[in-house]
Structure 1
Amino acid sequence: MNLRNILVPLGLIVLVFAAFRSAGWPGVAAVAGGILMWVLLHFTRLMSVMKKAADRPMGYVGSAVMLNAKLKPKVPLVHVVAMTRSLGERLSEEGRDPEIYRWTDGTRSHVTCEFVGGRLMKWTLQRPVQDEEAAAAPETTETTDTPPKA
């Protein structure tokens, strides 16, 4: 179990109790108002991230290479969704840890991220293999030294 699930509510209860002991019911009202503002700020941020993600295809990112460069360990899934502005394509089974998501760009490069407990633990960048024929034969363009006719 995540210790944060216990400590945050316990800390909020202690904060409300301390406000009651120091200022009575007006202190409780002030602390409760602050806690409510904090919860509403997080809810508003979550809704704006989800609204932006709803406007893009699932599992799409502008550049997988840039996403790979921006990722850091222990970042929450919501932060990665905010960076990509897209929900990832789920590769793991529903409700199982680790959760695995993939974001692909237009060049078929993709970043596969593994989340444990909602936090990014590891990720890999896969770039498509170039065809051997296309890589071996460079494109040729004809150039001439004669100026174009006007």
Structure 2
Amino acid sequence: MDKRVGWALAALAVFVGWWQWGGYGVVLALTVVVFWLLLQFYRALRVMQAAGAAPVGHVANAVMLHARLNKGMTLLEILPHTRSLGQKLSDPPQESFAWTDANGDRVEVTLDNGRLTQWQLIRAAAAEGEAQAPAQPGA
């Protein structure tokens, strides 16, 4: 959900609470909003704690990760699929991260303003084939 929609709903809850029940409604609405924020914080904390316990840039299966990615995902939505923090390749506003599996397959993702815009799977066999290809004479 977009942050603006969330904050608009929170403001609407406070207004409706005030309109319906006065001060008690405002207190109830603020309690619900704070509870929602605590749930979001706890979710982020759990994801980061689980990802921080694994080796950086390692994923169990790069092909499965590649299949699970969707355009518009946030890093917080990607990390449960990887179960580890990615190896950082570039800085914001277009951040890039990479994860490699035991076979050498690699997934590179690019986040633009925190949202997944592109990703690619680099197979180890293809990378080895390109590296072992003989150079053309005179090139």
TM-score range, shorter chain: 0.7 to 0.9
Offset from partner CA, 1:87-141 (integer Å, 9 cap, x none): 1111003xx2211100111111100001111111110000112667xxxxxxxxx
- Picking from 64, 69, 73, the partner of 2:62 is 64
TM-score, length-scaled by structure 2 = 0.83
Give, in whole Å, the separation in 1 of the partners of 2:37 and 2:9.
Answer: 15
Q: Which amino acid in 2 is paired with 1:68?
A: H
Q: Provide the secondary structure at the position in 2 that maps to 1:113.
A: strand
Give, in whole Å, the separation in 2 of the partners of 1:44 and 1:14.
Answer: 24
Give, in whole Å, the separation in 2 of the partners of 1:43 and 1:100.
Answer: 24
Give, in whole Å, the separation in 2 of the partners of 1:88 and 1:8.
Answer: 28
**Which structure has the bigger radius of gyration?**
1
Q: Which runs of 5+ in 1 are unaligned?
A: 133-150
Aligned-residue RMSD, C-alpha: 1.7
TM-score, length-scaled by structure 1 = 0.77
Give, in whole Å, the separation in 2 of the partners of 1:6 and 1:129.
Answer: 45
- Identify the residue that residue 82 of structure 1 maps to in structure 2: 80
- Identify the residue that residue 111 of structure 2 maps to in structure 1: 115
Instruction: Give, in angstroms, the shift of residue 83 of structure 1.
Output: 1.2
Q: Provide the secondary structure at the position in 2 that maps to 1:91.
A: strand
User: Hey, which of these two has a bigger chunk of helix by percent?
Assistant: 2
Q: Which amino acid in 2 is paired with 1:105?
A: D
- Identify the residue that residue 93 of structure 2 maps to in structure 1: 97
Q: Which runs of 5+ in 2 are unaligned?
A: 130-139
